[in-house]
Amino acid sequence: DAGVTQSPTHLIKTRGQHVTLRCSPISGHKSVSWYQQVLGQGPQFIFQYYEKEERGRGNFPDRFSARQFPNYSSELNVNALLLGDSALYLCASSFGWPENTEAFFGQGTRLTVV
Amino acid sequence: AQTVTQSQPEMSVQEAETVTLSCTYDTSESDYYLFWYKQPPSRQMILVIRQEAYKQQNATENRFSVNFQKAAKSFSLKISDSQLGDAAMYFCAYRSAWTGTASKLTFGTGTRLQVTL
């Protein structure tokens, strides 16, 4: 079975542009979470979606938004990109919520804003 | 809010030796989960070991074991018989067991482990 897949793997954008990152969870997993990992730091929680509804949001500005589709895949959107948005964006999927299930991570999308 | 602190930015161990990575956390909750994740250069976060706070017994997974001290809010990872493949960034993480919140992980800043011959 395929693990969590993210696309694209690398991306370069200009300040002020918009970006969409994509995540496909493990088959059968209904929850997707997004994390931002700035160089030299641990990942920071951005969003969790379960059954297409937002279940949690971290301390990120409204420029960050996400959605989950009927097939449980997810998109993370970032508007009006800033240099500080340069980071590795990780997607994690898990089977359920709120029950305790393990999160499996993808390999991330490396976003560089210039 | 919960915080996780890893005070060792870098550690080094010789192959076949044992190393311990430190982690402390702060929380007012009584029920939670603690994790150690490994992030190799491939960037994918891989779960190494997990501890439920209500369990007094320390978790073990083959060469990996933890020393969980709930009162001291300490959660260290011991790697025995270190192998070259253990070289990576190691992150300690916390997750609340409360079901009324998102299943978010709170990570520390990581410890880079080097394994030398």
With cut-offs at 50, 70 and 90, classify the pLDDT of residue B39: very high
Q: Token pair for residue A78?
A: 């970032």
Minimum Cα–Cα distance from A43: chain B residue = B107
Q: How far is CA B57 from the centre of its chain?
A: 16
Task: Determine the length of chain B.
Answer: 117
Please tell me the predicted confidence (pLDDT) of residue B33.
Answer: 93
Pairwise CA distance, residues B73 & B44, whole Å:
27
Interface test with B, best of A9, A11, A37 (most B CBs within 10 A): A37
Max mean pLDDT among A38-52, A86-100, B77-91 falls in B77-91
pLDDT in tens, A19-63: 999 999 999 999 999 999 999 899 999 999 998 999 999 999 999
pLDDT in tens, B58-78: 999 999 999 999 999 999 999
Please tell me the predicted confidence (pLDDT) of residue A37.
Answer: 97
Quickly count: other Cβ atoms within 10 Å of residue A40's Cβ. 10
Say yes or no: A106 contacts chain B, CB-CB below 8 A.
yes
Interchain CB distance below 8 Å, A42 and B97: no
